[in-house]
Amino acid sequence: RDEQTNALGVGDTFTQSEVGSGTISYQNDGSESATDGFEFTLSDLESTSETHQYDITINPVNDAPTLANAIDDQTGTVDDPFTFELAENVFEDVDGDELTLSASLDDDSALPDWLSFDAETATFSGTPDEATSYTITVTADDGSESISDKFTLTIAEGNQAPTVANAIDDQTTDQYDPFSFVIPANTFSDDGDLTLSASLANDGDLPSWLSFASASNTLSGTPVRGDNGEINLKITATDESEASVSTTFKLTINFVLSADQGELSNLNFYPNPTDHILHLTIDEDMTGDIQLVMFNQSGKTVRDIILNKTHQSQVFEIDIQSLRKGIYLMKLINENTTSTFKINKK
């Protein structure tokens, strides 16, 4: 029937004049069936009737894909990896055709260098390198027709790692002197709070005599025997996002011939000079371990031994035959008392 009349149903009647005037016609319902058919019965006024079956072959027509669910806008952060996979139900195709996806910027230009689109997995990925926004077009193509949708990708400024604002000056201290150094507050620059830590420049642990208090950002300790020389220290500042920066400086510990402590008495070295055995007589009323440390003129330790004194007056023999000729300093240490002597090796 025409548009003003309901479609014919089973058992409905129509006349020859309706067929002749073209008001009776067939229209496919849009399904993907390859065939269709109907049966009708002709009858005249004498109630004579005849039934016929008509089969119709339907030539399919491609239906364009459609947008089923809009793509949500996305956000990212500078220097943070970005990944976004399109939902499977963004596009649909009633014909069941396989859809090929592609992506570009809104002006049909290519995606930015940092951003890629994998059509097989429908996934965007990359690491943003600047704070900005993009309007991205995603297109689904069935081979003949296509449909597109757009979404906005906004890239926000990410966390900025701290920076070194001012180098730390090299520091100097003397052996046996208490050392304390507060890291200057203007060493590092950052918008947020920083936590400082200290290590050797090669990332090794601090020497046993030196410690770092992060609460006050203070290095402190007292270098003792063998601690003279130079050490390279590294201070690292870490922000709340675990981004960090480091700077290094040198700490020089000067060699000290003797400490400003009590002196051991009743000591005697002989012969001096000597080329082999040096005799050490200790008449001091002391017992237990006495540490003997010898240094060359460069401050390098060449002997470090423990003497076990068990008698009130005791003689120890020190073999220095293997040492080179020259002047050496010998330090005796007992509890909190020390004494230094000059030895001449022939």
The whole-number pLDDT of residue 284 equals: 66
Helix, strand and coil percent figures for the chain, each rounded to 5: 0, 50, 50
Cα 293 to Cα 156, 216, 270, distances in angstroms: 63, 35, 17
Which residues lie across from 72 on neighbouring strands?
Answer: none
The whole-number pLDDT of residue 56 equals: 78
Cα 84 to Cα 107, 116, 122, distances in angstroms: 21, 11, 8
Across the beta sheet with 210-213, the strand order is 179-182, 218-221, 210-213
- CB under 8 Å, gap of 24 or more: what pairs does 34-39 form? 34/58, 34/60
Query: Distance between CA 42 and CA 52 in Å, rounded?
Result: 8
176-207 confidence digits (pLDDT tens) = 788 999 999 999 999 889 999 999 999 999 99
Cα 44 to Cα 50, 80, 98, distances in angstroms: 10, 82, 52
25-66 confidence digits (pLDDT tens) = 667 666 665 677 777 777 766 667 777 787 777 777 788 999
The whole-number pLDDT of residue 47 equals: 67
> Which residues of the chain are under the pLDDT cut of 50?
1-3, 258-262
The whole-number pLDDT of residue 205 equals: 96
Taking the whole predicted model, whether its pTM rises above 0.85 is answered as no
The whole-number pLDDT of residue 288 equals: 79
The whole-number pLDDT of residue 28 equals: 66
The whole-number pLDDT of residue 90 equals: 97
The whole-number pLDDT of residue 285 equals: 61
**Placement of tokens 């008001």 in the chain:** 23
The whole-number pLDDT of residue 286 equals: 65
3-class secondary structure per residue, 29-61: CCCCCCEEEEEEEEECCCCCEEEEEEEEECCCC
Q: Which strand (E) or helix (H) includes residue 17?
A: helix 16-21
**3-class DSSP state of 232:** strand
Query: Distance between CA 174 and CA 119 in Å, rounded?
Result: 68
